[in-house]
């Protein structure tokens, strides 16, 4: 079958949250705000701008309120906040987040390591959040972390993921994210699981969140796309990772994903030259090289002059 790629895909930018949460160097609130403000001008419809979790768990994002209150909101952009519990949801609501991203792992061990709760406790906390959100304009998305594999428990079964999808739908979530927290997914597994989840959840509600830990990030995007997924998280420069998962590394890189889409004729609505410019400024902000590749190599159309003294 020849796939029709003349379609479009939504990129949700997660660098201000997943990207910065694992950075050892403190990023000043003003620099976080400037980063988000720049991202807001790059054509994204959705930006995960921070999290409201325990400041002891994730000190790098402890200034969530100041960040959300300080950003210059662009019309048409949904600003998402990751939250683990009711307290996080209350903080996000008063800081003006548009949507909450509630996170629980498919794996009990990873949920205990990351959220210090059993999965059942996370689900109870989420029903409190649903009650809080009722009557407000807050959107609700729920993520299944370690949906493809867990660094402690190994492969995650499809049935386990489907069980959580059902629980999320029953709670009334408007969006569901399947997250490959430590880059353990492979394209065949992704294709199968996405096809199965899409029997229960429309593509407009489903987001895929891949990490490039083992170099399979963009292959997994294409497999998910082939299976019908159209929303993907990605992080500028390829920043990111969960501090509570051994060996975690960056998300798929936004500008590499956008470059892939442009080369294949898939519309993302984002401005690649602007993204490359922003990504090239990240090493100065964070003090290290970025894993992203297109920012280093340039786009295919960024041609070089031919060497001098070539034989005629």
Q: Which residues are catalytic?
A: 242
- Interface residue with ligand COA among 49, 221, 242, 253 (CB under 6 A) is 242
A 10 A CB-CB count for 288 gives 12
**Cβ-based burial of 262 (10 A; exposed 0-12, middle 13-18, buried ≥19):** middle
Q: Which DSSP category does 8 fall into?
A: B
For helices 158-171 and 119-133, the axis angle rounded to 10 degrees is: 30
Within the chain, residue ranges assigned H as helices are 20-21, 29-40, 64-70, 86-95, 108-115, 119-133, 158-171, 187-197, 217-227, 254-264, 272-286, 294-297
Binding piece for ligand COA, criterion CB under 6 A, among 55-63, 170-178, 232-240, 255-263:
55-63
Which residues have a Cβ under 8 Å from the Cβ of 38 and sit 6 or more positions away?
A: 274, 278
Per rule CB under 6 A, is residue 144 in the interface with ligand COA?
Answer: no
Per-residue x/- track, 63-102, ligand COA (CB under 6 A)? -------------------x-xx-xx--x-----------
Assigned token pair, 214: 């083992």
Nearest approach, Cβ of residue 179 and Zn ion (Å) = 6
Within 134-186, residue ranges assigned H as helices are 158-171
Within 19-85, residue ranges assigned H as helices are 20-21, 29-40, 64-70
CA-wise closest residue to 161 among 179, 141, 175: 179
Nearest approach, Cβ of residue 241 and ligand COA (Å) = 9
CA gap 110, 17 in Å, rounded: 19
Per rule CB under 6 A, is residue 182 in the interface with ligand COA?
Answer: no
Per-residue x/- track, 96-125, ligand COA (CB under 6 A)? -------x----------xxx---------
CB closer to Zn ion, 82 vs 93: 82
- Interface residue with ligand COA among 10, 23, 27, 51 (CB under 6 A) is 51
Chain-centroid distance of CA 132 in Å reads 24
Nearest approach, Cβ of residue 124 and ligand COA (Å) = 12
Look at residue 84 and give the partner it binds from Zn ion, ligand COA, none, a contact being a CB closer than 5 to 8 Å depending on partner kind: ligand COA
CB closer to Zn ion, 93 vs 181: 181
CB closer to Zn ion, 93 vs 110: 110
- Compute the half-sphere exposure of residue 99: CA atoms within 13 Å on the CB side of its CA: 21
Per rule CB under 5 A, is residue 18 in the interface with Zn ion?
Answer: yes
Per rule CB under 6 A, is residue 57 in the interface with ligand COA?
Answer: yes
Per rule CB under 5 A, is residue 256 in the interface with Zn ion?
Answer: no
Binding piece for Zn ion, criterion CB under 5 A, among 15-23, 56-64, 222-230, 269-277:
15-23
- Interface residue with ligand COA among 10, 40, 47, 52 (CB under 6 A) is 52
Per rule CB under 6 A, is residue 43 in the interface with ligand COA?
Answer: no
Assigned token pair, 275: 């993204």
Cβ(122)–Cβ(160) under 8 Å? no
CB closer to Zn ion, 47 vs 93: 47
Look at residue 114 and give the partner it binds from ligand COA, Zn ion, none, a contact being a CB closer than 5 to 8 Å depending on partner kind: ligand COA
| Contact footprint for ligand COA (CB under 6 A) | 21, 51-55, 57-58, 82, 84-85, 87-88, 91, 103, 114-116, 145, 242, 244
């Amino acid at each position: 079958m020849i796939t029709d790629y003349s379609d479009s895909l939504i990129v949700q930018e997660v660098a201000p949250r997943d990207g910065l949460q694992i950075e050892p160097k403190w990023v000043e609130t003003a620099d976080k705000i400037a980063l988000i403000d720049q991202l807001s001008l790059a054509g994204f419809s959705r930006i995960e701008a921070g999290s409201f979790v325990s400041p002891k768990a994730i000190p790098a994002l402890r200034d969530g309120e100041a960040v959300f209150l300080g950003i210059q909101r662009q019309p048409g952009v949904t600003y998402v906040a990751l939250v683990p519990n009711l307290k996080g949801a209350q903080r996000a609501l008063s800081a003006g987040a548009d949507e909450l991203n509630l996170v629980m792992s498919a794996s009990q061990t990873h949920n205990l390591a990351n959220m210090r709760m059993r999965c059942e406790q996370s689900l109870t906390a989420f029903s409190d959040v649903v009650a809080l959100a009722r009557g407000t304009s807050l959107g609700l998305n729920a993520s299944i972390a370690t949906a493809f594999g867990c660094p402690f428990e190994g492969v995650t079964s499809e049935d386990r993921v489907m069980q959580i999808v059902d629980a999320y739908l029953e709670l009334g979530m408007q969006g569901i994210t399947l997250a490959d927290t430590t880059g353990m997914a492979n394209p065949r597994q992704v294709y199968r699981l996405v096809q199965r989840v899409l029997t229960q959840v429309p593509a407009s509600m489903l987001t895929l969140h891949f990490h490039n830990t083992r170099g399979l990030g963009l292959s997994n995007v294409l497999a998910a796309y082939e299976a019908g997924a159209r929303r993907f998280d990605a992080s500028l420069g390829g920043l990111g990772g969960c501090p509570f998962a051994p060996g975690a590394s960056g998300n798929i890189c936004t500008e590499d994903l956008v470059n892939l889409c442009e080369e294949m004729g898939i519309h993302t609505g984002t401005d690649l030259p602007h993204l490359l410019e922003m990504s090239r400024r990240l090493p100065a902000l964070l003090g290290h090289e970025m894993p992203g590749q297109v920012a280093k190599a340039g786009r295919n159309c960024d041609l070089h002059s031919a060497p001098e003294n070539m034989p005629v």
